[in-house]
Chains A and B, each alone.
Chain A
Amino acid sequence: MRTFLALLAHEARLLFTWALPLATAGSTLILILVIETGSPEILPLLKTDPGLALSMADRLVLRVVELAAPIVGVLAVSHATSLDVDAGTAELVGSMPRWTPGVILRRAAAGFLMLTLSLVFIVLAARLVTGLEFSLDRPFLALPPSVFLAGLGLVVSAWTRSHAAGLAAALGLWVMDLIRPGMCTGPLYLFQAGRPPCCQTAGLDLCPNRLLLCAGAAFLVALSSWLYSRRGLSR
């Protein structure tokens, strides 16, 4: 366990880029501004119908977090497979006795940990600054689509050995699903949790959808670590 944590800390150090805190800070700022703009509608309702007011606030927060979290997630994780190609260390890492696919599994774990911490920061900071007591756990519904997109970025980076290609694939799907929810993803739709029920397209209920996204992300991470180890050996 101690060894795993030491490796995890090194992987997090390798994955860290300044784009990550910048995206987190930017997302926090946007969330605060959105809440401040929506407050005139929500705050009067708190006195008459607090349940409805908080539900509206939750939806507002989730919509922003659903947009922000995938960017943070993709920034945190998608370069895990291309890192060694960019740094020129692929051959060295490939010559180590520890299980090679484990490198990507650990990096994905470190990246998802950084994503979760960023999300905690965004939500807590927004709640503290605005004073609006929206739900603390509901924004985390945005995690499954974020890890799914990050997993897609990982696979494409491992396949093409290019971080730019991984970023383009993950963010491309993100934009497509923003414009036409569910068009490319079907039951794996990414951005409906924050929409009012009348705007939601037909598909799976939210809970199975999020579970499916988590399973999809796990599959993509496993696939990327396999691709990473295979491509590392067959150069």
Chain B
Amino acid sequence: MNPRPEQDDTVEVVIDRVDKVYPGGVTALRGVSLRIGRGMFGLLGPNGAGKTTLMRLVAALERPTRGEVTVNGIPVTRRPSWVRGLLGYLPQDFRAYDKLTPREFLDYVALLKGLDDPRRRRREIELLLEQVGLGRSIRSRIGTFSGGMRQRLGIAQALLGGPPLLIVDEPTAGLDPEERIRFRNLLAELGLTRTIILSTHVVADVEHSCSELALLIGGRVAFRGTPDALISRAVGKVWEVEVDPGEADRVRATHRVVSSRAASGGGLALRVVGRDAPPGGARPVRPTLEDAYMVLVGEAVGFGK
């Protein structure tokens, strides 16, 4: 049996008015609608915003309470195995069997993905292990791996079989800056021919690799569009201001602090977002994606601390 569907790199995911309410009444998603096509799509949001729930719905690991998720027009709940056949999935808390070697683990995953040809499996596994920088650890047990090595193994298993739809949840967690950039570039390259949904807290990952993004706050879509469009929403709401250390709390009460550093005059140089300029000679600055993210979160839950 080969559970893989016909190879088609064009995958469109449509999330249509989806609600997800867990037993006990916790609402994770409310009326979420998104259309995700080829390329890299970033999913940003604070903890508990519903990003992981949304990923799990697309991966057919959960069912929506209301609404529908379709892949190429086919409801995920109706043909979950077919959808999983298109899918490479890296869960947020990726773990592997400690007693196996990376080659054994990837071979097991490849078999579960329906890659029945042993020669193809072997070739692909060796290539992927080289690609993620685990070529030298091929005979070590996974139990001896560092956090970064495990994460790279997780990325390798998601890429096995060249899936046309990749769902990666916090993929760069635990990677050092060089690895993070390398992986980001790899994803951007893969995004030319397939659909990739990238969920992350790291705004820079989305800024450098995604052509479109959605911002989830409290289970709702607070923004959907290009990074530039998100940045333009923050124009006139980002300031830099120098304050005495004792006055910083006063600014924090009405504004969200994006960054703070020691200023040359002995005070604190704060970069803040808010509806109005903070008092004390603040000057407006050009927003970045991180500023824009903070502005939207602030607008949803309040700017003060």
A6-B111, A10-B104 as given contacts; A95 in contact with B61, CB under 8 Å: yes
Tell me if B277 counts as interface (CB < 8 A to partner A): no
Instruction: Choose from B85, B108, B118 the contact partner of A2 (Cβ within 8 Å).
Output: B118
CB distance from A221 to the nearest CB of B (A): 19
A7-B111, A96-B113, A97-B81 as given contacts; A13 in contact with B99, CB under 8 Å: yes
Interface string of B75-91 (1 = CB under 8 A from A): 00000011011010101
Residue of A96, A232, A234 with most chain B CB atoms under a 10 A cut-off? A96
Tell me if B114 counts as interface (CB < 8 A to partner A): yes
Interface string of B181-195 (1 = CB under 8 A from A): 000000000000000
Please tell me if the beta carbons of A97 and B4 are within 8 angstroms of each other in the complex. Answer: yes
Please tell me if the beta carbons of B85 and A97 are within 8 angstroms of each other in the complex. Answer: yes
Residues in B neighbouring A88, C-beta threshold 8 A? 93, 95
CB distance from B80 to the nearest CB of A (A): 9
Interface string of A97-135 (1 = CB under 8 A from B): 111000100000000000000000000000000000000
Tell me if A89 counts as interface (CB < 8 A to partner B): yes
Interface of A is mostly: helix
Interface string of B59-74 (1 = CB under 8 A from A): 1111100000000000
Tell me the bound Cα distance from A232 to B62 in angstroms.
9
Interface of B is mostly: loop
By beta carbon, the residue of chain A nearest B163 is A97
Residues in B neighbouring A232, C-beta threshold 8 A? 61
Interface residues of B in 117-134 (CB under 8 A from A): 118
Please tell me if the beta carbons of B84 and A97 are within 8 angstroms of each other in the complex. Answer: yes
By beta carbon, the residue of chain A nearest B52 is A91
Tell me the bound Cα distance from A96 to B118 in angstroms.
18
Tell me if B262 counts as interface (CB < 8 A to partner A): no
Instruction: Choose from A87, A97, A235 the contact partner of B113 (Cβ within 8 Å).
Output: A97
Where the two chains meet, the residues of B that have a C-beta atom closer than 8 Å to any C-beta of A are 3-4, 56, 59-63, 81-82, 84-85, 87, 89, 91, 93-100, 104, 107-109, 111-114, 116, 118, 157
Where the two chains meet, the residues of A that have a C-beta atom closer than 8 Å to any C-beta of B are 2-3, 6-7, 10, 13-14, 87-89, 91-99, 103, 232-235
